[in-house]
Amino acid sequence: MTRGVVACKKRWYKINKAITQFAGCYDQASRNIRSGSNADDIKELAYKLYSTHYGQKTQKHRWLTNLVLPQGSKKSKRKGKEKAQMSEDFSERKSSVVKKLSLMEDIKNVRENELMKREKEREEEKKHRAKMMAIKENELQIQAKMKEQELQAQRYIKEMEIKAKEREMEKDGQGKGKGDGYANT
């Protein structure tokens, strides 16, 4: 039985979709490698993820069985290469994790330094404000003393003016009194 072009395209779309979904699950499973895992463990985890995410039970369709290599010396060589590749991938991931951790630690140190710098600036600002307040308070005290001295000086001047007027009045009063006295005699 031969299929038409449209039927083949539809079939290919269905197969391709399922393969793409499974490949995503396989990739996710390979990222979650645990120590002591091998390719079969990754495949089993990929099957579980596929059935969990897409609600389809994988009955190890024909397209999935193509992933399983035939028994023989080539398979064992490939398994050895896969283990080496997995260890390289693991070491690469480990180094990237170490790099990320060191970067995070550097960021943490920078933030701590910035916080310490801000705290020092705040303390310096508080000290500066306290000094400025003390200076302003001293200025106000000096101004108050100057005002008080000015008032005292004005009082003294007024007292002196009053005394001077009193003396003038006394002189004027004595001069009038003497004149009156001569006239009466």
pLDDT tens-digit series, residues 83-97: 666 666 666 777 777
User: d(Cα 93, Cα 86) in Å, to the nearest integer?
Assistant: 10
Which of residues 11 and 117 earns the better pLDDT score? Answer: 117
Helices (H), 55-72: 62-65
pLDDT tens-digit series, residues 125-141: 999 999 999 999 999 99
Q: Which residues contact 34 (CB under 8 A, 6 or more apart)?
A: 41
Q: How far from 143 is each of 57, 131, 155, CA to CA, in Å?
A: 92, 18, 18
Q: Are 51 and 75 in contact (CB under 8 A)?
A: no
pLDDT of residue 62: 46
pLDDT tens-digit series, residues 145-156: 999 999 999 999
How buried is residue 26: exposed, middle or buried, by Cβ count under 10 Å (0-12/13-18/19+)? buried
User: d(Cα 135, Cα 132) in Å, to the nearest integer?
Assistant: 5
Q: What is the pTM of this model?
A: 0.33
User: d(Cα 82, Cα 53) in Å, to the nearest integer?
Assistant: 26
